[in-house]
Amino acid sequence: MEKNYWQIDDNLYKVHMSSDVYMEIKEDFSIVDICKYFKKGEIFAYDIMIKEDELQKVLPDTLNKTMKRLEYFRC
């Protein structure tokens, strides 16, 4: 699995995720900002900006939900 996060400032990271994973975790974290990706009028992915202290909480949660989704679709 490829890396889905990047450091963009001293204390700020960008994390890329699918829209369904974002919907599951958005209430659990202090998200600074978001970027939405659209295809044919539908949101299919997000980039979230998150502070470094929450990065290690977001990554495992995002990875677990992504793996469950891939399992569901048998990828």
pLDDT for residue 44: 94
Query: Quick check: 47 pLDDT over 90?
Result: yes
Residue with tokens 């470094």: 52
The reply to whether CATH 1.10.3470 applies to domain 5-72 is: no
Average pLDDT, the chain: 80
Confidence of residue 27 (pLDDT cuts 50, 70, 90): confident
Distance (Å, rounded) from C-alpha 12 to C-alpha 22?
18
Vertex 21 angle, CA 30 and 35, to 5°: 60
- Where are the chain's structural domains? 5-72
Q: What percent of the chain has pLDDT over 70?
A: 76
**What value does the mean pLDDT take over residues 48-64?**
77
pLDDT for residue 37: 95
